[in-house]
Amino acid sequence: MDEENRVLMWTGNIEGTTEAPSQPPQSIQSPPTQDQPSAQQASSSVASPIPEAERRQLTVRFCDLVESTKLASQLDPEDLREVVRAHQKTCTAVIARYDGHVAQLLGDGLLIYFGYPQAHEDDAQRAVRAGLGMLAAMGDLNQGLQQTKGIQLAIRVGVHTGLVVVGAMGGGGRQEQLALGETPNLASRIQGLAASNTVAISEVSYRLVQGYFDCEALGAHVLRGVAEPLHVYRVLQESGASTTTRVLSRWVTSARRRLRCERYAAWFLCW
């Protein structure tokens, strides 16, 4: 029997049988083919897509509390938790202001990405500005901690820019979007080289922010596991140049001064 050309019903053999109670109509489904996957397979593929990693250039920044072990010995664990949470909240607010991404909260430290998930042309500048902003925000936080806990917090920040592969890592219902490669490792190493309450950056990041910030060269450092010595710079302050034109103007002026000094030196040696 055909009901409105939509459902086919089987009525059985009428002759010699008693009338059986009617069953609700059931539609007949054709087996799935390769071109038409079943609805269960389609819903399963939509519900749990396989995340793919992607190659990106990131500016990675590590931030850590200075002498956190000593701090833990001075405070009760509950007080220490309160202090660390206040530190993380203060830093996170500054990071959000510059559109950074907090990838991990590593105890009393933070791993931050600039350039993921949203990329900007000035991610290196954003990372450095956020670092300086965190130093300023820690000053305000320390005023309250000095009154309530009798302590002062200090941080150090390391910044490096380079190529990474970022994607989901982990399993068992717990996954994180992490960047893998040499870049995060170098950023961590640079953070370890930074002095208390300073922002240290690699030479790669320095080239990207040169002219926008006043920096001090800290020389080349030989790091275990790194083939070439790593040149590190300390960020002192913003230069005040807010546009590319002003940066180029400052660079030209500096180049002219260096050229003038070289000419004077050459003249003096010849004389």
Structural domain range at position 165? 54-240
Examine the domain organization and report whether 251 and 172 are in the same domain.
no
- Whether 27 is covered by a domain: the verdict is no
**Residue showing tokens 């490669």:** 181
Tell me the mean pLDDT in the region 229-233. 95
Examine the domain organization and report whether 85 and 126 are in the same domain.
yes
Label residues 136-170 b or e (16+ Cβ within 10 Å = b): ebbeebeeebeeebeeebbbbbbbbbbebebbeee
Label residues 58-76 b or e (16+ Cβ within 10 Å = b): bbbbbbbbeebeebeeebe
Identify the band that residue 262 occupies on the pLDDT scale cut at 50, 70 and 90: low
Examine the domain organization and report whether 147 and 260 are in the same domain.
no
Identify the band that residue 133 occupies on the pLDDT scale cut at 50, 70 and 90: very high
Residue pair 114/100 in contact (Cβ under 8 Å)? The answer is yes
**Among the listed ranges 79-93, 130-144, 171-185, which one has the minimum average pLDDT value?**
171-185
Please give the tally of structural domains in the chain.
Answer: 2
Pairing mode of beta strands 198-202, 7-8: unpaired
> pLDDT tens digits, residue range 56-112?
999 999 999 999 999 999 999 999 999 999 999 999 999 999 999 999 998 889 999
CATH number at residue 170: 3.30.70.1230
For residue 117, whether the previous peptide bond is cis, meaning omega lies within 30 degrees of 0, is yes
> pLDDT tens digits, residue range 39-68?
555 444 444 454 578 999 999 999 999 999
Examine the domain organization and report whether 145 and 91 are in the same domain.
yes
Examine the domain organization and report whether 259 and 227 are in the same domain.
no
> pLDDT tens digits, residue range 11-31?
666 555 455 555 555 544 555
pLDDT, position 155: 96
Examine the domain organization and report whether 137 and 76 are in the same domain.
yes
Identify the band that residue 269 occupies on the pLDDT scale cut at 50, 70 and 90: low
